[in-house]
Amino acid sequence: MEKLPSSIFNDVIGPVMRGPSSSHVAGASRIADIVRQSLNNHVKKVVVDFDINGSLAESHYGHGTDMGFVSGILGMPVTDPDVSKYATLARNAGIDIEFRILDYGAVHPNNYRISAKSDDGHFHEWEAVSIGGGMIGMQKFDGFEIKMAGDFYEILITADCSEKSADDIMKIIRSYVDNFDFVLIDTKKQLILFELKFAEKPHRDEIKPLENEDFIINVVYIEPILPIHSRAECKVPFLTSDELTELSKTDRRELWEFALLYESCRGNISEEEVFQKMSDLVAIMENTIEEGLLGTQYKDRILGYQSYKIDEGSRKKKLIPCDLLNTVIKYITAIMEVKSSMGVIVAAPTAGSCGCLPGTLIGVGRSIGASREEITKGMLAAGLIGIFIAESATFAAEVAGCQVECGAGSAMAAAGIVQMAGGTVEECINAASIAIQNVTGLACDPVANRVEVPCLGKNIMGGSNAISSANMALAGYDNVIPLDQTIKAMYDIGLKLPLELRCTFGGLGKTEASLQIRKKLEEQNRR
């Protein structure tokens, strides 16, 4: 099975969530959701292992992994207002969840090794990774290799192949159900696993009698968890900015219209539906800004309510006069404050960088008198730039540093600004390339294991960088390095960053001030 193209609504903009980190909260919740489904929603005991050399060993509590995972086991959406009460809710539900730090040689920094048991005695083992922006990969099920991202309906069938060949068993399975898009097969001694993937919801009643076959050991049914589902014939018109640039020579659409075309093909939905989905996300982003500007309160955070200080400073004439940029600073701060107080945000492309893109586009849009429709077009253009990043790099700071979170958000925002200013496809792409070139090597070094400092400043830096890069592109500055090559260079740099500078205990997070803040927060939470 080949890798399927990225989706704007799966991989780039979204999920809608609460909490500090999309990788660690939304990703953990989605992983746990699949674990819960595998036990027919009757989970009794779960043990989750994090490798001592990965990022989760250090950050799983402060970045909300425990909260996200438990919410998924409970079947609670991460937008639920009670999600921060996860520990109490799990105890009240009689579910025992244990997190352990072990040295088991995990390759990926966001690796989960999970064993789960239901109240009726069923037991499954899973291994999964969170790969950035809330996206996940379920890699092992009961010791078998699988490939599950949550974009298909899936049926996992474990069978005894000691007396029947894989082909014979497959023929019998097909006699019950044959409308699947893909089948992946893995063997382990005298056992075999068939992973059936369906674009359309299968009729479970059709396959239920299969469980009575004497060679069938187990049948597990999993529903999709992503907003855009996949299918076998999933074709898109382009996958790189170079391909898009070539297409734009004969197709005169604007960048936002190419985004509609791409996502319509990817998700098998109408362009009107794509536009409406993005408009709905923009509405949530706007609501987040308004909520943040009203003021936020939350005990377990470093920074308090500060977004009002921009207006206060302007009234006292303390600020450098730059109304548009100051509006962007205010909006980004408001979004980050809502995120840090467990309010609802849109990961764009991640929760740690959730302020940069929406705060910049909405701030610039309102400053230049753009309508909601025009801001939505800018967000679509930004989402398409995100596709190119998703295809050639990652949005996970644990893998490649903050350059792929705030840096990516800045590049996306730059393209969105150019779109709102009436720029060409080429100018949008050039702005994104310039923006990334300005931030290569940006480390991820959160203070006190919280996604607040220097995250707020880096989101704001990303916004100001986006504005500058957009104007450079609109003025005709030479971007020198094409966007696709810039993205690959950014990813290469990120992979070469030491682990301590990729979302774990290093840099600013290792300063004396950071250690003191962390100690204070831990003591506060023990009270």
DSSP state string for 244-298: HHHHHTT----HHHHHHHHHHHHHT--HHHHHHHHHHHHHHHHHHHHHHHH----
- 186 exposure class (CB count in 10 Å sphere: 0-12, 13-18, 19+): middle
Q: What does the pLDDT read at residue 59?
A: 79
- Token pair in block for residue 364: 């610039």
The number of C-alpha atoms within 13 Å of 192 and in the hemisphere containing its C-beta is 20
Q: What does the pLDDT read at residue 320?
A: 94
Q: What does the pLDDT read at residue 314?
A: 87
Q: What does the pLDDT read at residue 317?
A: 85
State the amino acid at position 507 in one-letter form: G
Angle at 456 between CA 291 and CA 489, to 5 degrees: 125
Which of 368, 401, 501, 507 has its CA nearest to residue 447? 507
Q: What is the mean pLDDT of each run of 10 residues along the chain (527 residues)?
A: 93 95 94 97 96 87 89 96 93 96 93 96 96 96 98 97 95 93 95 97 88 94 97 95 97 98 98 98 98 94 95 90 96 97 96 97 98 98 98 95 98 98 98 98 94 97 98 98 98 95 89 95 82
Virtual torsion, Cα 499, 503, 506, 507, nearest 10 deg: 110
Judge if pTM exceeds 0.75: yes
Does residue 299 sit in helix, strand or coil? coil
Name 318's Cβ contacts closer than 8 Å, sequence gap at least 6: none
- 471 exposure class (CB count in 10 Å sphere: 0-12, 13-18, 19+): middle
Ramachandran region, residue 133 (left: φ > 0; alpha: ψ -120 to 50; beta: rest): left
Q: What does the pLDDT read at residue 61?
A: 77
Domains of the chain: 18-222 (3.30.1330.90), 241-526 (1.10.4100)
Name 240's Cβ contacts closer than 8 Å, sequence gap at least 6: 388, 391, 392, 484
Q: What does the pLDDT read at residue 222?
A: 97
Q: What does the pLDDT read at residue 331?
A: 98
Q: What does the pLDDT read at residue 16?
A: 97
Residue keyed to tokens 């509609």: 260
Q: What does the pLDDT read at residue 261?
A: 98
Does residue 487 sit in helix, strand or coil? helix
**Helices 241-248 and 372-392: angle between axes, nearest 10 degrees:** 130
